[in-house]
Structures are given as structure tokens and as C-alpha cells.
Structure 1
């Protein structure tokens, strides 16, 4: 196969031109899916000639026909139903009552609610918007510190990246060809540690300075008893849905795809019991699911095409040899990979980062003798950082869309800095103490 002369560049300069082309086209405002697709098409024709196009298309076919990918629209649909039903709203109200007059109680219960929502859906943007509507105005009205209020909404809403059934973990499992159930098992402990670190930060800040989070007004004993009974009832249904999804996966009763379908069925039954199920609810949830999954699939197709072309060019061997030739301990090579992911996370969507980097990074990780499951947990924590990090942290823009007008993007990003530091601390802990994530798989 003969191209249009790009082979004369060699793989090293070809890599520079390819990466440079991606960033230049992104500056034009084109969506990432179109950018990767255009660059892939250009390099296919320029490097190999038009006859190579069917080889690239075969890679796309392999991506879109992956059975486990069916779990993604199921979890997105479940999240869309939760967003539109009153389940999440009642959960928030119930946790507020159970938090009582604890220092920073509303902020802490916002984080706990975010954790609950993450165990049910695994979708990030919807959680941030939902918490931005439910929790942020209430904290601001009660006189909570603005930075703490903004931080817990964005950081808590981003826990869906880490907590099973995370869509990030599912995509990682598909790309790395590892057990998604094992990824879910390994991710739960680090995700819980991250949430508890957020809670500890809020608690310490509010104990040291009570003015950051004024206490809730006292409630008469008779009313408090009724409120607690209603609160427990509002928490039970989400807890049962989460247990049905995660319990069936961890016990081996159902695969991830089957558990996702059971989760959808559970939410539908819950909305029916609550008399909220309607054609309009299902229609709106379906439309959001189509939009979200369409974005994921198109970015996946573009990135899979680009990676396929780059591998045909010999790029995977070039990158592998370059990284493995670094004269340092293997752990430093993993640290370099994490740094690359952090930098990419400041500019690209997590789906694009996964599709572009993991087909190259995961084989190197295995060659170095590390577990791809462990690296998957590192990747997910890294994507947590990318959701908050400026200049293009998606969490900030999700919240800005529903926040009061006086809250600017500058306010949001400055509020997120302590939470980014905590994410980096958890990333370092998992990097140097892998058993934090891997211990359940050794039982």
C-alpha cells in the first residue's frame, strides 16, 4: 500500500504531526469525535493510501459490536430516570434530617447523597446538576461558606467516575480487556476513601470555624421523630436499588450488563410505586440516554479509528520502546503516565483520553509486570482530577449552568483546589500502596 508521502516523515515525526494536528483542530472548536476521525482519515490516506480504509473500518466494527457496551445505555437510562423522578430529591431531604445538627451537616449529607447516587447510576454530569439544584441553594441560604458549598457539589457529583457502577470503569474494562466486575470490586475501597476524605475535610473546617457552616435550627422532639421515620423510608428505596445492582455483580449472580438492566427495572418499579411513572418521564429519559450515548459512541469511533491507524503506522511499538527505554524504576514510568493523563485531562474529555491512551499504556503496564486492574483504578482517580481541573474541568461548567448568576467560573475553580489536592493524595496512595485497591481481589 502506498500513501501520499507521509511515510517519509518516519514514525517519530509522524507522531508529532499527528498529535499537533489533533490540538490544532481542537482549537477550531470542532468536537473531539470529528477531530480524531478527520486526523485518522488523513493519516490513513496519507500514510497507506485509500486501500487501507477497510482495515480501519474493521476496528470500528469491533468497538461498536462489543457486548459489554450495552451496559452503558442501561446505566445512563437509569441515571436519567433518577434525575427526573423524586427519588434523589427525597433522598437528599432524608439525609438532611439524619445529619441533624452535625457541624457542616448539610455539606456532609450532600457528599453522602452523591455517594448513594453514584452507586446507582455511574453518570457524573447529571449528579452535579442535580446537586447544584437541590443542595447548593440550600447551603447558600443557610449561610454556608461559598467555597465549601461549591466544592462539595462538584467533588461529590464527580464521585460517579470512581464508584461502581462507573461508566469510566466499564469503558476501561472494554479497552483493556479485563474483568469489569474485578474493576468494580477494586474501585469501591478507593472511592469510599475519597468520599471520607472529603467528609473529613468539611468536618475539620467546620469544627475549627463554625461560622463556615451555621447549625440547623432545632426541631421539636415530636416533629423530629416523624421526620426521622420519613427520612429512613426515603433512604431505603435508593439503598435497595444500589444493593440490587452492585450485590448481583459482586456475588456473581449477574454480569455488569445484566445488573444494569436490573437497575433500570428497579428504578422503573420505584417510580411506579411512587406514582411518578409516565410516558413523558420515559420519553425525556430516553432522549437524554440517546444524546449521552451518541456522544460516547461517536468519540469512541473516532478514537478507535485514530488508534487503529496509529498502530498500523507502528506507533504503539514506537511509544512502547520510548517509554520502556527510560532508565528508571518501573514505578517512575507509571508516574510519567499519570502525569501525561493529568495534563491531557486539562484539555480533553475522559472518553477521548481513554480511547487514545489506554490501547498504548495498558500493554506497557503489563510488560512492566503491573496489574491492569490496579492501573484502571489509577486511571479512574486521574479522571476524577480531570473533572475538576481548570481550564476545561467539566464539573465547573455543569455547575455553572444551574448556579446563581453571581457565582462565576473563577469562583468555582478556586473552590475546587482543595478537593483536587485530596484527589491527588488518593492517587498517590493507590500508586505507592496498591493493596488499598487490590485487597478484595486477594480474598
Structure 2
């Protein structure tokens, strides 16, 4: 049996295991362990230990629990509710103002957390009921909450970019900086869509009544203080890291400690809050560690079989595709897989296969990390199995049906595709900031 056939059987077995409903790390790890024992015999028992030591020697992994903790404690402390109230007052008189404020809130939450789950939870529990009560169109607000929450895996400190950096062996700092302008671009396009669609059809988003917004300017300015702490934490953390005063891990610790201090300043720090935040942080961090361990073992066998070189030979030599045609196929395959898998599963399953190919085709791996991450965002909202779709259905009130949720996401899906196209045409959207910062440093 040829190595290519073995690699194909491994991939097919892994997909079959995933279809049975097994946990992703269990499916990947089981196939990796079985293939290793069959191919290498008793010597394969060393592979899990090697994977563990490779993982534990990669110090940026220490940032994961810090950023997850930071996001959860800021979310649980009520700071997000204060932010939304301020945005509600300042944007309430604008047509679609609450939807605009929700997207801005999602961008801020993304900068605090690095995961889309927190943004979705906050948007669905705080913003969505408020907009429904005020007569906003249910499909518009469903799309706003889902699209806005997906920014969490692109805007730094993105946890997905940390994982990509480990698998691609790329500097996390450069990946974060590369995600800044694409994330802001996508957020700006979301805002532009909401403004235009609300101007075209004012019935979608009524303005808030004057009696709710009439307050002295001094009171409005006081409400803006709700955003001072999150912005101060984010810019201090990223600024100290980018300027070289703190290392990546030190900046993560600084962010977590600052978030705890901010919660204490707000008078909301308690043992219950610390216990719940620590429990959630541990659960998410352990999930990522198991996934990466399984992926390292699976990738080691796949690389040993020459699967990456086989894919390169198929696309370039046998099919005669150009480098951009190959890139288009890679992106398309990510979108198709995203219908069935979440972003982390795609990262640990497919990225190790494509990264050597992307490098061989002379694409910048920092740039590809941003393109991949946006593709993951599309996967989050792609029917029928997009992760955010089901999370939204679980949190939304009964009047928002699954059909409404599916239809609401179409314009945001198209905006994400447009963002990928723009970054492919103008790579400097992603590369200018990291090149400028690191070349000057």
C-alpha cells in the first residue's frame, strides 16, 4: 500500500470518527494512535511524549489561559452592560443606532477576549432583547449579533491566531498586528451595511424615543467612563508588548491582572466570580491543549508519510494549477469543511497539511494566517452546522426561529468573502502594520 493511500485512509477514518459525534481531540488522537502503532509498532508509544514536550516547550501557549481569563472576568463583572448603556445613549438617535452600537460593543469585547463565544453570549443576552423590545427587525439584529461576535477570532488578542502561530511556527505578535486592520476593515463594512440598509428601509430600525435619551451632556460624558477601563487595559497591554517593554507572556499576565484589578475597582470582585471564571478558563484551556496534542501526533504521522508533498504534487504538477488557483482551492475547501467543523477543528486537522504547501508556493504565512482566520469566521456562520448559528438559536427568544437565523447571516457572509478578496488583492492590508512595527524595532 502506498504512503498516499495510507494518508487518504487516515483522513477518511478521522472524518468518519467525527461524524459519529466523538469529541474532536478524541477522534484525531484515536486515528493518530492507531496509525502510529500499525506503521511503527511499539516505537510509536514515544510519539505522545514527544508531542507533550513539543507543546510544553512552546511558551506562547501560556498566554491562552491568561487571555481567556481576562475576557471572562471582564464579561462576568458587568463591564459589558455598562458599555452597551453608553453606546445606547450616544447612538440611540441615529437610524439603526443600537445595531451600530452592538457592532462596536462586539469589537471592544473581541479586543478584551479573543474568542467569539464571549461576544455571542454578551450580544445575545444584552443587546438582542433590548433591540427586540424597541421594534428592531429580528433578522437584522440576529445577523448583527452573529456577524459582530465572529470578530473575536481576528481582533487581537485572538486565541485562534495563537494556535495558528504554534502550528505554522510564526510569531504571535506579528500575527496579532496583521489581524488589526483586516478586523477593523470587516467591522467597518458591517457598520456601513447596517447604516445603508437602515436608510433604505427605515422600518428595520426605529430610533429610540427622545424621552429615553434626554439627559445633560455631562451625564452622557460620564457614561463614556464605562469604556475607559477596557480600552486602557487593551492599549496598555498591546502597547507594552509592541514597544518591547513586555514579552508576549508578560503582556498576557499584565492583561489578566489588570482585568482583575478593574473588576475590583468597579466593586464587583467576589470569590464566586473568581471561582466561576477560573472554572471556565480551565475548561477552555484544557480543551485547546488536548486538541493541539492530538493534532501534533496526527500531523507528525501525516508529514512522515509525505502527505503535504503529495498534495503539492497533485495541485501543481498533475493539475497544473497556478499558485493563486491553489490558494483559491484552499480557501474554498476551508469554507466547505467549515460547514461541518468549528475553527479549532479545521486548524488542527487541515492547516498542518496546507501550511507546507502555502510555504512552497511562496505565500507569506503571516498573511495566510489572517486569510485562514477570516475563513474560520465564515465557517462559524455557514449553514447548516455553523457553530454560531446553533449558539444563537440556544440564546435567542422563541420568536427568532432557526430559519430567521439562517437568512439573517447572508449579507454578513458576503461581507466576509469581500474582505478575503480585498486582502488577497491588497496583501498590505494585513502585512503593513507588522512589517512597520518589527522593521522599526
Structure 1 and Structure 2 fold alike (TM over 0.5): yes
Q: What CA distance in whole angstroms lies between the structure 2 residues aligned with 1:255 and 1:428?
A: 33
Match 1:42 to one of 34, 37, 48: 34
Match 2:431 to one of 411, 414, 438: 438
Q: What is the Cα deviation at residue 226 of structure 1?
A: 4.4
Paired residues of 1:144 and 1:212 also in contact (CA < 8 A): yes
Q: What CA distance in whole angstroms lies between the structure 2 residues aligned with 1:82 and 1:397?
A: 24
Q: What CA distance in whole angstroms lies between the structure 2 residues aligned with 1:221 and 1:387?
A: 35
Q: What CA distance in whole angstroms lies between the structure 1 residues aligned with 2:323 and 2:308?
A: 18
Paired residues of 1:300 and 1:351 also in contact (CA < 8 A): no
Paired residues of 2:308 and 2:357 also in contact (CA < 8 A): no
Q: What CA distance in whole angstroms lies between the structure 1 residues aligned with 2:384 and 2:92?
A: 37
Q: What is the Cα deviation at residue 81 of structure 1?
A: 0.3
2:322 is the counterpart of 1:329: yes
Deviation digits for residues 403-436 of structure 1, max 9, x if unmatched? 1123232221221111111101101111122111
2:350 is the counterpart of 1:357: yes
Residue number in structure 2 paired with 1:343: 336
Residue number in structure 1 paired with 2:405: 412
Q: What is the Cα deviation at residue 19 of structure 1?
A: 1.7
Q: What is the Cα deviation at residue 400 of structure 1?
A: 1.9
Q: What CA distance in whole angstroms lies between the structure 2 residues aligned with 1:98 and 1:252?
A: 36
Residue number in structure 2 paired with 1:291: 283
Q: What is the Cα deviation at residue 170 of structure 1?
A: 0.9
Residue number in structure 2 paired with 1:4: none
Q: What is the Cα deviation at residue 222 of structure 1?
A: 6.4
Residue number in structure 1 paired with 2:369: 376
Paired residues of 2:342 and 2:376 also in contact (CA < 8 A): no
Residue number in structure 1 paired with 2:439: none
Residue number in structure 1 paired with 2:200: 208
Q: What CA distance in whole angstroms lies between the structure 2 residues aligned with 1:13 and 1:218?
A: 69
For the residue of structure 1 that corresponds to 2:409, the secondary structure is helix
2:43 is the counterpart of 1:32: no
For the residue of structure 1 that corresponds to 2:385, the secondary structure is coil
Q: What is the Cα deviation at residue 254 of structure 1?
A: 1.9
- Give the direction of change, closer, same or farther, for the CA distance of 1:398–1:220 in structure 2 (3 Å limit): closer
- Give the direction of change, closer, same or farther, for the CA distance of 1:396–1:227 in structure 2 (3 Å limit): farther
Match 2:3 to one of 6, 11, 21: 11
Q: What CA distance in whole angstroms lies between the structure 2 residues aligned with 1:435 and 1:283?
A: 43
More divergent stretch after superposition (20-29 vs 214-223): 214-223
Q: What is the Cα deviation at residue 316 of structure 1?
A: 2.7
Deviating above 6 A after TM superposition, structure 1's stretches of 4 or more consecutive aligned residues are none
Q: What CA distance in whole angstroms lies between the structure 1 residues aligned with 2:215 and 2:275?
A: 39
Paired residues of 1:342 and 1:382 also in contact (CA < 8 A): yes
Residue number in structure 2 paired with 1:177: 169
- Give the direction of change, closer, same or farther, for the CA distance of 1:312–1:442 in structure 2 (3 Å limit): closer
Match 1:223 to one of 212, 215, 220: 215
Q: What CA distance in whole angstroms lies between the structure 1 residues aligned with 2:258 and 2:435?
A: 31
Alignment of 1:14-413 (within 5 A): 14-219=6-211, 223-325=215-317, 326-413=319-406
Paired residues of 2:47 and 2:297 also in contact (CA < 8 A): no
- Give the direction of change, closer, same or farther, for the CA distance of 1:14–1:99 in structure 2 (3 Å limit): same
Residue number in structure 2 paired with 1:3: none
Point out where structure 1 has 5 or more consecutive residues left out of the alignment: 1-7
- Give the direction of change, closer, same or farther, for the CA distance of 1:221–1:297 in structure 2 (3 Å limit): closer
Q: Paired residues, what number?
A: 435
More divergent stretch after superposition (43-52 vs 221-230): 221-230
Q: What is the Cα deviation at residue 317 of structure 1?
A: 2.6
Q: TM-score, normalised by structure 1?
A: 0.94
Q: What is the Cα deviation at residue 56 of structure 1?
A: 4.7
Paired residues of 1:84 and 1:281 also in contact (CA < 8 A): yes
More divergent stretch after superposition (369-378 vs 322-331): 322-331
Q: What is the Cα deviation at residue 76 of structure 1?
A: 0.5
